[in-house]
Amino acid sequence: MQIIHSILIANLARLLRSFGRRMIERIWRLGAAARLFFLTIIYSGESFRRFHLTLREIYFTGVMSLLIIIVSAFFVGMVLGLQGYNTLQKYGSSEAIGVLVALSLVRELGPVVTALLFAGRAGTAITAEIGLMKTTEQLSAMEMMAVNPIARVVAPRFWAGVISMPILAALFSMVGVLGGYMVAVPLIGVDDGAFWSQMQANVDVRDDILNGVIKSLVFGVACTMIALFEGFDAPPTAEGVSQATTRTVVISSLTVLGLDFVLTSFMIVV
Amino acid sequence: MDRTTIDLWVGVFVALGIAALLGLAMKVGNLTSNKIGDTYTVSAAFENIGGLKPNAPVKSAGVVVGRVADIKFDTKAYEAVVTIKIDERYEFPKDTFANIYTAGLLGEQYIGLEAGGEEDYLKNGDKIAQTQDAVVLEKMISQFLYNKAAEPSADEGAKASDEKASNAKSTELGDPPF
């Protein structure tokens, strides 16, 4: 009885210890990420003075993501059109399909799905690239040559992500609306004029479109910063880089969804 | 990759983004349809504005001629004072009638202006004297029930045959007879 008791307590203590260790590590990583964020902001002068560095990264994060964004936006819009029509038609208001497609895209799906796709398409690439740079000691070599790796490597990628994300999200929303239009008007036969006029009457430029852009800006900062930090913080091994890449996707997705709720609750005046 | 090629592609990318934003603002959003030029302001007092909100449309003959700028509560008269901005192109006589209507059964509420016959026109800062309040559904229902309750006592004799007829009718329609 005594033995069982002591084993139980020892196991419990081990569990608690490991839990505490993990928590402390999380908080340490959060602090390190915040420090990297501030350093990136402070050293971001060079990424604007030598803007071709940032342009190059915009090419890799933004331009190369165009195809996945446009194709998925088109399909998301088409599905919204089909599903929305199916439900709205039961209430005899199938003309409201334009409003439904536009509002759900501009307010939520545009910024959020773009951020999720961005984390998978560009975030992982950033993490893997920087992680590999660290593993092959390119970052240390830069420091040896008195080149600040944060100014030369991290900041241009950060600004490229922050610039690319709103553009991609706006494209996503616009292409999605066109996808919804393709399904609703030529395929199902909703009236063309009613589709656009109902949409224009109910989508507000400031309340809906501008808030969507603000959301995508915040997601851009969050996703890019997470990807950069995971790469910068990755253990310099093949396994470490692979795990960091996985973590980028997981943490980015969770952060985007959580932030989305917080931002929406700020934006919607109840 | 060549630096000029990258520049070109990033340029295309940014142009696409700007085009998408413009498209959203113009084609999807209300930037074009919301455009009202120079306006003049008039006010109108209502006893009940129902669900009227700032920025609701002001229509005359179904055409949007202005927007609701502001809604205040007047503590002296216990009325709602609604400030309306009307497009300068449209002039209304002084005895214009302001109603609060509902678009559709469950739609948003808007102000309808019905022009009167006077020679003088409304000017900036004027007050519309004749108004009609929003229809409150609960009031209408209670009025209806009140009228219904008053009806049978007035004509006791007709009641029995009426009831019979209505009973027969409702069973015919498949309703359960209460």
Q: How far is B15 from chain A (nearest CA, A)?
A: 9
Mean pLDDT of chain B: 79
Would you say residue B156 has pLDDT above 80? Answer: no
Interchain CB distance below 8 Å, A205 and B1 = no
Render pLDDT for B23-63 as a digit per residue (tens, 0 to 9).
Answer: 888 887 776 555 567 888 999 988 888 878 877 888 888 88
Same domain, B9 and B71: no
What is the helix (H) or strand (E) element at residue A157, kind and residue range?
A: helix A155-182
Interchain CB distance below 8 Å, A166 and B29 = no
Same domain, B108 and B68: yes
**How confident is residue B167, by pLDDT bands cut at 50, 70 and 90?**
low
Interchain CB distance below 8 Å, A170 and B1 = no
Predicted confidence at residue B16, as pLDDT, reads 93
Which residues from chain A sit within 8 angstroms of residue B17, using beta carbons? 166-168, 170-171
Same domain, B121 and B76: yes
Interchain CB distance below 8 Å, A63 and B9 = yes
Q: Is residue B81 part of a domain?
A: yes
Would you say residue B172 has pLDDT above 90? Answer: no
Same domain, B124 and B69: yes
Find where tokens 């969804």 sit: A257
Q: B30 in contact with A at a CB cutoff of 8 Å? A: yes
Same domain, B28 and B94: no
Which residues from chain B sit within 8 angstroms of residue A62, using beta carbons? 10, 13
Q: Is residue B177 part of a domain?
A: no
Mutate to test the interface with B, among A61, A100, A167 (most CBs of B within 10 A): A167
* Smallest CA–CA distance from B1 into chain A, residue: A56
Q: What is the mean pLDDT of residues B95-124?
A: 82
Q: Which domain holds residue B166?
A: 138-172
Are the CB atoms for A55 and B7 separated by under 8 Å? yes
Predicted confidence at residue B158, as pLDDT, reads 53
From the list A173, A174, A200, the residue facing B30 with the nearest CB is: A200
Predicted confidence at residue A61, as pLDDT, reads 92
Same domain, B67 and B92: yes
Predicted confidence at residue A108, as pLDDT, reads 92
Same domain, B107 and B146: no
ipTM over 0.95? The verdict is: no
The domain total for chain B is 3
Q: Is residue B44 part of a domain?
A: yes
Same domain, B94 and B158: no
Same domain, B118 and B74: yes
Same domain, B83 and B43: yes
Of A23, A56, A21, A38, nearest to A229 by C-alpha is: A38
Are the CB atoms for B106 and B140 separated by under 8 Å? no
Q: Mean pLDDT per 10-residue run, chain A (270 residues)?
A: 86 93 93 94 90 91 93 95 90 84 93 95 94 92 92 93 95 94 90 82 85 94 95 92 95 95 86
- pTM here is 0.74
**How confident is residue B164, by pLDDT bands cut at 50, 70 and 90?**
low
Same domain, B51 and B24: no
Same domain, B29 and B87: no
Q: Which phi and psi (to 5°) does residue A249 adopt?
A: -65, -45
**If interface means Cβ-Cβ distance under 8 Å, which residues of chain A face chain B?**
52, 55-56, 58-59, 62-63, 66, 102, 106, 164, 166-168, 170-171, 173-175, 177, 196-197, 199-205, 208-209, 213
Would you say residue B171 has pLDDT above 70? Answer: no
Q: Is residue B68 part of a domain?
A: yes
Find where tokens 């295309």 sit: B12
Predicted confidence at residue B27, as pLDDT, reads 82
